[in-house]
Amino acid sequence: MATEAPTFTKPNRPLVWLITGCSSGLGLALARAAQSNGHKVLATSRQPSRTPEIVSEITQNGGEWHTLDVDSPTAASELVSKLESTHKIDVLVNNAGYAILGAVEQFSDKELRAQMETVYFGPNRLIRAIVPGMRERRFGVVVNVSSGAGVEGRESMGAYASAKAAMDGLCKALAKEVAPFNVRVLTVWLGAFNTQFGAGCRSPAEPLPVDYVGSVVAQTLDVLQTGNFVPDGDTDKAVKAMYEVIVGEGVGAGRESEWFLPLGRDMIPRLELARDRLVHTLDVFGDIARNVYVEKE
């Protein structure tokens, strides 16, 4: 029997945010948005010494900056244990990441595992460290910054898309499990934004086979790697929407029970494609799916 979704409530006080990957792009913009709205920000990056001016900005505005390598098997639990001795984390934003781009057949096991380590295992370790406290306190928000690549399966993004899709699947289950404890899980599906995504992409060691010359894979790689890609999305607008949906204000008011937040005009056709694929599959194979049951005697 269907039951109503639990009503999500949040305390009337500033929240404590732990945001990964704050040295640039969306993570930095979200840290600034949270601070400007009076919240406490615990920012992290792999090498804070590379961005001293940004670290100084966040700390001078009342935040903290901590070193965190999300690939480390122990760093997440150690940092969370340290932080929660003085702070109770209300909002976790898994934002840190990178993409390795190429045709699926190019990727080595080592490259695929490295991608999964950063995009899937690292965020999961933070979830395991932080969610128990949220559950016990009966409040928390887990935000996973994901990608339209994982929804659609974009050519050249097989490694990245699979890691994002894996995290999306984990968060779907997590959302159901922790909702009774007033803990919310939000997956943000990003389209293309002006965050220097292309500049930070990596390439597999194996060269692209010549058969792919002129293909969508080759064209995508060329556009991203040459710096000719001009994204349509405005990061500041996206972060404003993200912030409001996370805290349930502005465009997020009354939408606290939603699991997914798509951002970017280019996300619309990608979601429509995913929807239409499922509808098509049901149309083609629905009758077959319904008729493979055990016959009752």
Catalytic residues: 146, 160, 164
Q: What single-letter DSSP state applies at residue 166? A: H
Q: Which residue has the tokens 């060691």?
A: 205
Q: Which amino acid is at 197?
A: F
Q: Which amino acid is at 148?
A: G
Q: CB neighbours of 165 closer than 8 A, spacing ≥ 6?
A: 150, 151
User: How far is residue 30's CA from residue 198's CA, in Å, rounded to a whole number?
Assistant: 20
Q: Which residue has the tokens 């994901």?
A: 146
Q: CB neighbours of 296 closer than 8 A, spacing ≥ 6?
A: none
Q: CB neighbours of 159 closer than 8 A, spacing ≥ 6?
A: 99, 100, 101, 102, 104, 107, 111, 112, 115
User: How far is residue 166's CA from residue 141's CA, in Å, rounded to a whole number?
Assistant: 19
Q: What secondary structure does DSSP assign to 50-118, as a single string?
A: G-HHHHHHHHHTT-EEEE--TTSTTHHHHHHHHHTTT----EEEE-----B-B-GGG--HHHHHHHHII
- End-to-end, the C-alpha distance of the chain in Å comes to 27
Smallest CA-to-CA distance from 192 within 242, 259, 267, 95 is with 267
CB of 114 closer than 8 Å to CB of 63: no
Angle between helices 158-178 and 109-116 (to 10 degrees): 40
